[in-house]
Amino acid sequence: MIKILFNQNQLRNVLLIIFFTITFLISPFLLFVVFSQSITVSTPTTKIASSQEKDIKLFKEKITTKVAELQEKNSKVISGYVTQKDDNLLKIKTGDDQVYEIKIDSLLTKFFQIKNNQQLEIKFSDIKKDDYLFLTGVVNEKIINANSIFVDESLVVLSGRITEIDKENYSIKVLTNERENYILDIESNTRQLMVNVKTLETERIGFSKIKEGDTVHFAFKRPALSEIKNRYSILKILVIPQEYFLN
């Protein structure tokens, strides 16, 4: 009886040794299979996600292009003075007293300053109340979705014909090409130039050389909206004598 139990113990020990040996030998293989399966499963998911991202990006690009095309097709130009400025919102008043609400898109709207015939990019924060703006964008009734906003130079340049001269006050009355009447004061610092009919060169003149019927180009500082009137002190005037057109 004792002999049989001993043999059974030996057999059990032998079986345990065989079991652990087999387990040790096949465990790396099992790990490799599991690891391989993990990679095999995750790789297609990554590829699908990457493909979806590309499709979404392409779709966004197409939408952006289409929106830009529609905006360009329906884009209009509006100009006026800034009457109100808030976060991402402007209100302007045009020359015919129309008020427009300007919507700003932080990603799409661009801002520029026109100075010395050059266009410089600026920020929304650089725009101030009473600035004179030119805007391009899609107009929906009194709302403009602005694409570009230009802050114009502070000078107004106009042309017209002299209809009256006030020698006592050194001022002239001009009817502009837009059929508007202006009274222009000639100051001591006003730069006065005239086209010489014979040489076609410009030369400096005094107030006494200016006559009714002459054509003039003049410039004055653009006033604030609250200061708009029909009388201004001019900075520069170029006179083209009426004789020039008779030759």
The three-state (H, E, C) secondary structure of 56-96, written as one string: HHHHHHHHHHHHHHHHHHHEEEEEEEEEEEECCEEEEECCC
pLDDT at residue 79 in the model: 87
Q: What is the mean pLDDT of the segment spanning 158-170?
A: 94
pLDDT at residue 130 in the model: 85
Q: What is the mean pLDDT of the segment spanning 107-117?
A: 85
Q: What is the mean pLDDT of the segment spanning 109-117?
A: 85
CB 124 within 8 A of CB 135: no
pLDDT at residue 31 in the model: 43
Res. 152 pLDDT band, cuts 50 70 90: confident
Above 80 in pLDDT, residue 194?
Answer: yes
pLDDT at residue 65 in the model: 61
Above 70 in pLDDT, residue 230?
Answer: yes
CA dihedral 108, 77, 74, 89 (to 10 degrees): 40
Residue at 184: amino acid letter: L
> What domains, with CATH codes, occur in the chain?
73-151 (2.40.50.140), 155-246 (2.40.50.320)
Above 90 in pLDDT, residue 174?
Answer: yes
Res. 213 pLDDT band, cuts 50 70 90: very high
Question: Which range in 4-18, 33-47, 127-141 is most confidently predicted, on average pLDDT?
Answer: 127-141
Above 50 in pLDDT, residue 33?
Answer: no
Task: Report phi then psi at 68, rounded to 5.
Answer: -60, -40
Question: Which range in 57-61, 95-99, 149-153, 172-176 is most confidently predicted, on average pLDDT?
Answer: 172-176
